[in-house]
């Protein structure tokens, strides 16, 4: 089973590399939205630091106390632009939901993503994925209640326990359980999207039922496919952060920018690797989804041929 999962992950990585234009388009779109979302803060921060002695604490290093002093000013240029960032984030999320249909169609069919076919697939599956998103938000409601309950229990344990580690251990255990549930729900809805594309399933409640059955009959296979990409991405990003914090001089702003964008590419590629691996797994291992039989007219029964009646002969006297 592990060798088969490894083969699916290799096939998924091959699909991401083969159709890597999808990766670069998503990265470019994210870069454009990030530029517009942070432009307001840049316009305020630049003039404030250009004529301030505090700028030397950020050009040749990073001083936390100076950053705190700058943030505590009444007209601080570091004020978080919540509405602007949230608006651009929502628009980006909607666009990614729109593009998901074309991305999955490319991975499931393993065909060249021509612009016309790609955007046709995006529009064809968009409203199905919107309905899946609504279902997923409903499923997340109990998880939100579990988070609130865990937070309340953490506060109670912290107040009543003598040892400070009891609350910390409870927090770590609750975080692991909640994270595991979120991963399970994510894989479940990922497979529902794959089924909606691969089988052209229009009823999302049926796609969710099929995905639920398929996922829990192949739980460890799909979970390991999902986790493999996440673990690889975390290792690469962790190494980049270590290099950034320990080895990179503060003056190397261009290298820091390129390194941050490389980490972003790694995260996007890891997510596409998960979707491509799930699509490759479904093509190889999933059973044929049984479709409901269409209505057929009842058979026409032909009348039985009767023998010709004998000619009438009058009785003889």
CA dihedral 32, 34, 38, 39 (to 10 degrees): 0
Enumerate the domain spans of the chain.
2-32+56-285
Q: What is the DSSP letter of 300?
A: P
pLDDT digits (tens, 9 = 90+) for 156-175: 887 887 777 788 888 899 99
pLDDT digits (tens, 9 = 90+) for 272-296: 999 999 999 998 876 554 444 434 4
Distance CA 112, CA 21 (A): 10
Rg over alpha carbons for the chain, rounded to the nearest Å, is: 30
Q: Would the pLDDT of 5 be above 70?
A: no
pLDDT at 293: 40
Q: What is the DSSP letter of 286?
A: P
Identify which has the larger pLDDT, 296 or 237.
237
| Buried/exposed code over 169-200 (b: 16+ C-beta within 10 A; e: otherwise) | ebbeebeeeeeeeeebeebbbbbbbbbbbbbe
Q: Would the pLDDT of 216 be above 80?
A: yes
Instruction: Confirm if 2 and 64 have CB atoms less than 8 A apart.
Output: no
How big is the chain, counted in residues?
317
pTM of the predicted structure, to 2 decimals = 0.79
Instruction: Confirm if 269 and 16 have CB atoms less than 8 A apart.
Output: yes
Going through 24-144 in order, the beta strands assigned E by DSSP cover none
* Alpha-carbon 101 to chain mean position: 12
């Amino acid at each position: 089973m592990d060798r088969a999962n490894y083969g699916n992950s290799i096939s998924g990585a091959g699909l991401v590399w083969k159709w890597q234009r999808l990766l670069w388009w998503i990265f470019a779109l994210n870069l454009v939205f990030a530029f517009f979302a942070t432009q307001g803060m840049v316009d305020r921060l630049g003039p404030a630091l250009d004529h301030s002695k505090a700028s030397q604490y950020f050009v040749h290093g990073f001083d936390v106390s100076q950053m705190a002093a700058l943030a505590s000013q009444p007209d601080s240029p570091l004020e978080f632009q919540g509405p602007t960032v949230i608006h651009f984030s929502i628009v980006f999320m909607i666009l990614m939901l729109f593009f998901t249909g074309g991305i999955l169609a490319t991975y499931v069919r393993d065909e060249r993503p021509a612009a016309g076919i790609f955007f046709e697939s995006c529009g064809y599956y968009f409203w199905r994925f919107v309905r899946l998103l609504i279902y997923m938000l409903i499923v997340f409601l109990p998880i939100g209640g579990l988070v609130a309950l865990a937070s309340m229990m953490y506060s109670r344990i912290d107040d009543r326990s003598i040892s400070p580690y009891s609350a910390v251990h409870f927090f770590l255990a609750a975080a692991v359980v909640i994270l595991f549930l979120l991963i399970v729900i994510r894989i479940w809805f990922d497979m529902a999207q794959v089924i909606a594309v691969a089988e052209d399933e229009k009823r999302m409640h049926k796609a969710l039922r099929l995905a639920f059955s398929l996922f829990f009959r192949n739980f460890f296979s799909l979970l390991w496919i999902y986790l493999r990409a996440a673990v690889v991405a975390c290792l690469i990003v962790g190494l980049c952060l270590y290099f950034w914090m320990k080895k990179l001089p503060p003056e190397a702003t261009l290298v820091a920018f390129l390194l941050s964008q490389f980490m972003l590419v790694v995260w996007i590629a890891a997510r596409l690797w998960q979707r491509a691996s799930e699509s490759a797994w479904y093509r190889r291992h999933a059973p044929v989804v049984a479709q409901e039989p269409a209505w057929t007219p009842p058979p026409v029964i032909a009348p039985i041929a009767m023998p010709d009646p004998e000619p009438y002969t009058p009785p003889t006297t």
